[in-house]
Amino acid sequence: MPVMKAARWLAGLSVAVAALGVTVTAHAQDKKIKIGVIFDLTGPLAGGGSELNYTGVKIMLDHYAKTGVEGYKVEAVYADAQSKPDIAINESVRLLEQEKVDMVMGFFSSAQCVPVAARVEQLKKFMWMTTCISSSVFDSKNYKYVFRPQASGDQFGLMTMDFIANQAQSKFGKEPKDLRVAIIHEDGAYGVDVSKGNEAGAKKAGFNIVMKEGYSATAPDLSALVTKLKRARPDVIFHTGYNPDITLFFRQAREQGLKFGAIVGHGAGYGVYDKLKEGLGADASYLFNTDPISIWLANQTSMDKKLPAVIKMVGEEFDKIKPGVPIRSAHVGIGASNAFVFMDDVLPRAIKKYGGVDPDALRKAALDTDIPEGGTMLGFGVKFYGEGEQFAGQNSRSFPVVLQYIDDKSYVVWPKSQMQRESVLPLPAGTTYSYK
């Protein structure tokens, strides 16, 4: 080959290789997962726990936006469901079809999760629920693309009944059959689902159910409900509500002189201590809440060794956002932990084993998840029920705990395996609602 011709050929090859290198580099930089995140940032559910869950998820996604995952950039697009199921559906579809996100994540309200899950499944897109708990999201639906690491509503209701059943004789001096219990709940998907678990657990324990009633979380007046409770004279009230309905209930209970031995809440508004303290003052002490354990209370000695550093990071970032909060809400940790499971376990597997972030790769990766107890910041493990099972897509290894607020601190009081101190039951004499 003549020298000049060879030189031209080599020059052309160099340009081609350089161009290829630019193309490959650009392609590598283009690899990303775009995550649509939906929570209630306005409306009544925002202050009831949704904004705190959003904060936990955002802390985690902001972290991965800096590091990436297996060569993929992480981009989050946020939307406000405004405490309305129809807007949650519309925003989900908008993010998937117009913003071209690869998946949707988040969702605080069970009233939103139920219809949104059906719509996302219909679109054959991937959905990762960090927070809502209604069992009816999955019950006999056989979804393929919808997953939830969070504990389900029936587990919440059953856990609190088991707790009180084991305390009846020692704390109240009564056999379970002689203990009078009332079940009250907001009448959305969340409250109804938990109340079903309450009722099933009460029947299993042999409690005397003296009242069971739902109400609208947006009701301006709950005095009639309080009047019925006064007539029913329960030893223990099991309550599922948001806020401000919780604050309204306690205010009218105080005005009408309602007395009881204990009130046991179930996540949602009961998981936001600063709101409880703001609305109830000293009466926030001795309330019980049922939720996945706060990541700051979980037993780190039995936890995966990589997790304490992540918990520390989440706490430090939260303190920057909301300095001076007396108790870091469990809601923050729920959002952060359940987002972390996806980012740390599911997403890397989808990329490495299944070739990317399309819905089927994410689905297969989620079904492969096999995290033992102690493998998450919330203490429980993760293994999803598979296709054809009654609760396909639900985490089979999740569980909540019962906490009690005492003197601006939160303690795990049930189950025994996680217990940090004995519960205070019934309400101490001299407190506002004590029947002593």
pLDDT surpassing 60 at residue 17: no
Q: Which of 28-37, 102-111, 310-319 comes out lowest in average pLDDT?
A: 28-37
Work out the percent of the chain whose per-residue pLDDT is above 70: 93
Q: What is the DSSP letter of 431?
A: S
Which residue in 407, 413, 160, 415 sits closest to 286, CA to CA?
Answer: 407
pLDDT surpassing 50 at residue 3: no
Residue, of 154 and 168, whose pLDDT is higher? 168
Average pLDDT over residues 430-436: 92
The pLDDT value recorded for residue 153 is 82
pLDDT band at 26 (very low <50, low <70, confident <90, very high): very low
Domains of the chain, first to last: 33-149+301-368 (3.40.50.2300), 154-291+400-418 (3.40.50.2300)
Sheet containing 208-215: order of strands: 208-215, 180-186, 236-240, 262-266, 288-291, 401-406, 409-414
pLDDT band at 299 (very low <50, low <70, confident <90, very high): confident
**DSSP bridge partners of 227:** none
pLDDT band at 65 (very low <50, low <70, confident <90, very high): very high
pLDDT surpassing 80 at residue 5: no
The pLDDT value recorded for residue 27 is 44
> In sequence order, which ranges of 302-368 are alpha helices (DSSP H)?
307-321, 330-341, 347-354, 359-368
Average pLDDT over residues 42-64: 95
How many whole angstroms from its chain centre is CA 224? 31
Residue 144 has a CB neighbour count (10 Å cut-off) of: 17
Dihedral angle computed from the Cα positions of residues 398, 266, 343 and 121, in that order, rounded to the nearest 10 degrees: 90
